[in-house]
Amino acid sequence: MPGLGDIGEFGLIERIRARQREYDADVVIGIGDDCAVLRRGNILEVLTTDCLVEGTHYQPGWLSMEDVGWKSMAVNVSDVAAMGAVPRHAVITLFIPERVTPEDIDDLYEGIEACAAEAGVGLVGGDIVKIAGPFAVSITLSGTCERDDLVLRSGAREGDIVVVTGTLGDAAAGMEHIRAGREPAGPAGEYSIARFRRPVPRHRESRIIVEKLQPTSMIDISDGLISDLWHILEMSKGGVSLCGEAVPVGGGVLDLVGGDRGAALALAIKGGEDYELLFTVDGKRAEALDEVAAEIGLGLTAIGKIASKKTGFVLAADGVESEIGRGGFDHFKSPAEESKEV
C-alpha cells in the first residue's frame, strides 16, 4: 500500500480533486484557483485557507511568534490579492502544545493583528485546541470582489505578456541564511531574511494592477515561479516562453550564491514563498507597465510570453533554450516541506 510519500502532495490533491461532485449554482469557482469564488447575493466572495505548522513550514527558532502571526495572515491575504479581491474577514484556529505560554499567544496576535490591520482584515472568530504535537495556525480568509475585477488562473491567451511584481528568490535566500545560522553580509541579505519572515502581500498593488492593466490571469508566487506559472498554463491551456535574463532576481540571492548568475536564476525561479504576483496581460496593455510600476512603487517586470500549449514551458537563458518540467516543490516527496492548496 503506497504511503503519501509515494504519491506526493500533488498526487494527493489530484486524488481529492477527482472526487469532486457537482457544485451548486452559487459556486463560481471551486477547487483549483488561489481562492474559491462564491456568489453571495449581489456580490462575489472569495474564500481561501492556509496554515503555518512548526516543523513543516519552519523550524523552531526560525520565526518569532510575532513572525508566525504575521506570516500566517500574509499568505492568506496574498491568495485573496491574487484573485483581484479585497481581503475582508478571517477566522483563526490555533493548535497549541503544552509548552506555549499565554505571552506567546499575545506575541502571535501582535503579528496577526499587524498584518490584518495593514490589509483591512477583521478577525471575526476561530477555535483553539490543545495538541500533542507542533504549534500550528490555520487561517481562513474571505474577500469580496466585483465581478469585473475577478482574475482567474485560466484566462491567459497566446501572445499575452507574463509579468511579475518585485523580485524573486529573496525568501528562499533568506531561509538559507536562517537555516545555516549565518549572519547576512549586508542589507540585501537582511532584506532576504525579512522577506522569509514577514512576506508583504501585494493586495494594494493587486487592486491597481487589476484596474489599470486588466490582467487575463493571475496567481501569487508561493511555491516558486516555475510551479505557479505551470498552474496558469494548465488552467489556461497554454505554453510559455520565458526569458531567463529578464527574471528580476533579488539582490540577496546574488549575495548568497557569490554572484553566480546561473545559480541565482535557479533559486529565483524555483524558490518559493516570495508572495509576489505573477500575471498575464494583453500585449497592448503591457505598454503601461512602467507607468503602473511607478504608481505602485514596485517593479513590474515582463519576463516572457504565453505561447501555444504545444510549446510547453521553455526557458531561454545564456542563449540556450531549456524545456522546464512541472518541477515545483512537492513536499511530501522532498525534504523541504510545505502545504499545498487543494
- Selection from 231, 226, 269, 229 nearest residue 247 by Cα: 269
φ/ψ (deg, to 5) at 290: -65, -40
Nearer to a second copy among residue 89 and residue 212 (C-beta) = 89
Nearer to a second copy among residue 127 and residue 287 (C-beta) = 127
Of residues 129 through 188, those in contact with a second copy by CB under 8 A are 129-134, 136, 138, 140, 142, 144
Per CB under 8 A, 342 contacts a second copy: yes
Per CB under 8 A, 64 contacts a second copy: no
Question: Smallest distance from the beta carbon of 195 to a second copy, in angstroms?
Answer: 21
- Selection from 182, 317, 301 nearest residue 262 by Cα: 317
User: Binding residue for a second copy (CB under 8 A) from 62, 100, 288, 295?
Assistant: 100
| Contact residues for 286 (Cβ-Cβ < 8 A; gap 6+) | 161, 163, 213, 302
CA dihedral for 188, 274, 52, 205, sign (positive or negative): positive
Per CB under 8 A, 95 contacts a second copy: yes
Per CB under 8 A, 102 contacts a second copy: yes
Nearer to a second copy among residue 128 and residue 185 (C-beta) = 128
d(CA 153, CA 168): 20
Do the beta carbons of residue 214 and residue 293 sit within 8 Å?
A: no
User: Binding residue for a second copy (CB under 8 A) from 60, 61, 103, 320?
Assistant: 103
Using alpha carbons only, what angle is made at residue 114 by residues 50 and 192, rounded to the nearest 5 degrees?
A: 70
Give the range of 24-32, 157-165, 192-200, 218-226 binding a second copy by CB under 8 A.
Answer: 24-32
Nearer to a second copy among residue 51 and residue 194 (C-beta) = 51
**DSSP assignment, residue 165?**
E
Question: Smallest distance from the beta carbon of 141 to a second copy, in angstroms?
Answer: 10
d(CA 236, CA 296): 27
Report the phi/psi class of residue 259: left, alpha or beta, with left for phi > 0 and alpha for psi in -120 to 50. left
Per CB under 8 A, 16 contacts a second copy: yes
Total binding residues toward a second copy, as defined by CB under 8 A: 83
Nearer to a second copy among residue 43 and residue 185 (C-beta) = 43
Give the range of 89-97, 166-174, 236-244, 284-292 binding a second copy by CB under 8 A.
Answer: 89-97
Give the range of 95-103, 230-238, 240-248, 294-302 binding a second copy by CB under 8 A.
Answer: 95-103
Nearer to a second copy among residue 43 and residue 294 (C-beta) = 43
| Structure-block grid coordinates of residue 184 | 547576512
Do the beta carbons of residue 47 and residue 36 sit within 8 Å?
A: yes
d(CA 303, CA 293): 15
Nearer to a second copy among residue 64 and residue 93 (C-beta) = 93
Question: Smallest distance from the beta carbon of 297 to a second copy, in angstroms?
Answer: 26
φ/ψ (deg, to 5) at 149: -90, -15
- Selection from 13, 78, 9 nearest residue 46 by Cα: 78
Nearer to a second copy among residue 24 and residue 323 (C-beta) = 24
Per CB under 8 A, 341 contacts a second copy: yes
Per CB under 8 A, 290 contacts a second copy: no
